[in-house]
């Protein structure tokens, strides 16, 4: 089969790779769509030992297997199903999980990938292949974080920092959960305009810093945005930290020191959220569909990534 190899500094080649060899309790998933993710920019810059791609939708291709032919998205934490966390439904916190699909083992920028059976999440018939990957990071990750945030604040104004795929997903989920008004800080005109079309008001970082928001979603992983998040969160409000980076540097100012607030970090989502996440997708299907604004085959992946990295695409997909 053909699979992408990330060499670093933006270079991707497509190479002949061995077909997936599924282990015990694993199946081959023929990739129908794999969405590009901001977190892939790290492998894009640095290079990566295995094929990346972790927002995978496809069809089980395992003749004779009971799930052969089933359409599914791949849940990326390879969880054990037996530990205390798994028993409590916290599959994303599995105590024995050592691998994520597309990170420590091959992912979906390829024609096929092997996936543990328990990581197959069914795609309902009314959800097309090209939108199914949105059920993972865009909806799954943001909705899980915001469900946790709702334990602390039920409503009120919201601020989203960064209108990449996670930030835009957060706007849609916040809107559906009844938070508002929603403001957004996004330097790229294309993304800011799109966020505005979803009902979020673009504002400057300075204007955001002087706000008092019930929920602030940090979706950039950049210190400048984190600084704004800490300033902008209102008393007893919540910062939902979804952006990632290796190190943080913040300046503790008076407005950070003199208030009570919660800092919430969440990772991915429990597998049991899938049905609720499908309902979120259905409820705003037309808006989610507008997020998927470009697609390419394997040979166009490098060019597609370059445009995505420049902020000129929202949530493009690979269709291998
Ligand atoms: Zn992702
Ligand atoms: Zn477990």
pTM of the model: 0.96
pLDDT of residue 128: 97
CA–centroid distance, 73 to ligand 2, in Å, is 20
In the reported structure, the alpha carbon of residue 38 is separated from the centroid of ligand 1 by a whole-number distance in angstroms of 6
7 has pLDDT over 90: yes
Those residues whose beta carbon sits under 5 angstroms from the ion ligand 2 are 79-80, 83, 86, 94, 96
Given a cut of 90, whether residue 245 has pLDDT beyond it is no
Q: Which ligand is nearest to the CA of 81?
A: 2
**For the segment 249-303, what is each residue's pLDDT rounded down to a tens digit?**
999 999 999 999 999 999 999 999 999 999 999 999 999 999 999 999 999 999 9
Average pLDDT over residues 63-75: 97
Say if residue 246's pLDDT is above 90.
no
Q: What is the pLDDT of residue 23?
A: 93
Q: What's CA 150's distance to the chain center, in Å? A: 19
Ligand at minimal distance from the CA of 97 is 2
CA distance 40 to 108: 12
Residue 9 confidence (pLDDT) above 90: yes
Q: For residue 248, what pLDDT is reported?
A: 94
Alpha-carbon dihedral angle through residues 143, 148, 149, 151, given to the nearest 10 degrees: 130
Ligand that lies nearest to the alpha carbon of residue 96, given by its number in the listed order: 2
Q: How far is the CA of 82 from the centre of ligand 2 (A)?
A: 5
Please give the backbone phi and psi of residue 112, each rounded to the nearest 5 degrees, phi first. Answer: -155, 160
Separation of CA 55 and ligand 2 centre (Å) = 21
Query: How many angstroms is it from 148 CA to the middle of ligand 2?
Result: 21
Report d(CA 86, CA 150) in Å as an integer.
23
Kindly identify the ligand whose nearest atom is closest to the C-alpha of 308. 1
Which listed ligand is nearest to 118 at the C-alpha?
2
Q: How far is the CA of 75 from the centre of ligand 2 (A)?
A: 14
pLDDT above 90 (res 124):
yes
Separation of 268 CA from ligand 2 center, angstroms? 15
Confidence of residue 6 (pLDDT cuts 50, 70, 90): very high
SS (H, E, C) the chain: CEEEEEEECCEEEEEECCCCCCCCCEEEEEEEEEECCHHHHHHHHHCCCCCCCCCEEEEECCCCCCCCCCEEEECCECCCCCCHHHHCCCHHHCCCCCCEECCCECCCCECEEEEEHHHEEECCCCCCCCCHHHHCHHHHHHHHHHHHHHCCCCCCCEEEECCCHHHHHHHHHHHHHCCCCEEEECCCHHHHHHHHHCCCEECCHHHHHCCCEEEEEECCCCHHHHHHHHHHEEEEEEEEECCCCCCCCCCCCHHHHCCCEEEEECCCCCHHHHHHHHHHHHHCHHHHHHHCCCEECHHHHHHHHHHHHCCCCCCCEECC
For the stretch 187-219, pLDDT in tens is 999 999 999 999 999 999 999 999 999 999 999
Residue 40 CA to ligand 2 center (angstroms) comes to 25
């Amino acid at each position: 089969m053909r699979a992408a190899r990330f060499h670093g500094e933006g270079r991707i080649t497509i190479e002949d790779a061995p077909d997936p060899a599924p282990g015990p309790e694993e199946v081959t998933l023929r990739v129908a769509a794999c969405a590009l993710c901001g977190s892939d920019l790290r492998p894009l810059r640095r290079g990566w030992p295995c094929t990346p791609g972790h927002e995978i939708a496809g069809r089980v291709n395992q003749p004779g297997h009971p799930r052969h032919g089933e359409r599914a998205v791949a849940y990326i934490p390879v969880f054990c199903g037996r530990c205390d966390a798994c028993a409590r439904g916290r599959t994303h916190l599995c105590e024995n999980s050592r691998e994520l699909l597309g990170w420590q083992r091959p992912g979906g920028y390829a024609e096929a990938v092997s996936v543990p059976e328990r990581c197959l999440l069914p795609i309902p018939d009314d959800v097309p292949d090209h939108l199914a990957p949105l059920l993972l990071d865009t909806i799954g990750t943001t909705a899980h974080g915001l469900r946790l945030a709702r334990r602390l604040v039920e409503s009120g104004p919201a601020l989203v920092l960064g209108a990449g795929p996670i930030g835009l997903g957060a706007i849609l989920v916040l809107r559906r959960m009844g938070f508002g008004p929603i403001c957004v800080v996004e330097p790229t005109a294309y993304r800011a305009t799109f966020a505005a079309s979803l009902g979020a008001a673009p504002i400057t970082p300075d204007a955001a810093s002087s706000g008092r928001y019930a929920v602030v979603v940090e979706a950039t992983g950049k210190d400048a945005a984190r600084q704004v998040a800490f300033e902008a969160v209102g008393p007893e409000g919540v910062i939902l930290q979804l952006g990632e980076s290796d190190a943080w540097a913040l300046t503790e100012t008076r407005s950070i020191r003199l208030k009570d607030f919660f800092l919430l970090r969440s990772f991915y989502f429990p597998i049991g959220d899938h049905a609720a996440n499908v309902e979120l997708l259905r409820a705003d299907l037309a808006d989610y569909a507008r997020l998927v604004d470009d697609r390419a085959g394997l040979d166009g992946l490098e060019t597609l990534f370059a445009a995505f990295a420049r902020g000129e695409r929202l949530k493009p997909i690979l269709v291998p």
